[in-house]
Amino acid sequence: MGRIIVEVMPKPEILDPQGKAVGSALPRLGITSFTAVRQGKCFHLSVDGPVTEELLADARRAAEEVLSNPIIEDVVRVEALPEEGAAK
């Protein structure tokens, strides 16, 4: 059984209140190394058998049509997850 990961992030020009909230929580914990935080979504799509090019194409279509809102979000990654992840 393979898995495909799809990563969706808010477009750079879109405000990201969740990311901002996380970014302001970190210094309160003494973590001051990060200049900005953006929060996005990721999806793990399970498939029977190995991940083929055809399945990746399906995943890309799903990413554009269902998993992301193209007005405010970018699909930044669609790729097969290594098998060790799939065994989890």
Verify binding: residue 72, its own copies, rule CB under 8 A: no
Half-sphere exposure of residue 55: CA atoms within 13 angstroms, side-chain side? 18
Q: Is 47 in the site for its own copies (CB under 8 A)?
A: yes
Residue 83: CB partners within 8 Å, gap ≥ 6?
2
Q: Is 36 in the site for its own copies (CB under 8 A)?
A: yes
Q: Which of residues 1-30 bind its own copies (CB under 8 A)?
A: 1, 4, 7, 9, 12, 19, 22, 25-26, 29
Query: Which residues is 78 bridged to in the sheet?
Result: 6
What is d(CA 81, CA 16) in angstroms, rounded to the nearest whole number?
Answer: 27
Question: By the criterion CB under 8 A, which residues form the site for its own copies?
Answer: 1, 4, 7, 9, 12, 19, 22, 25-26, 29, 31, 33-48, 54-55, 58-59, 61-62, 65-67, 76, 85, 88
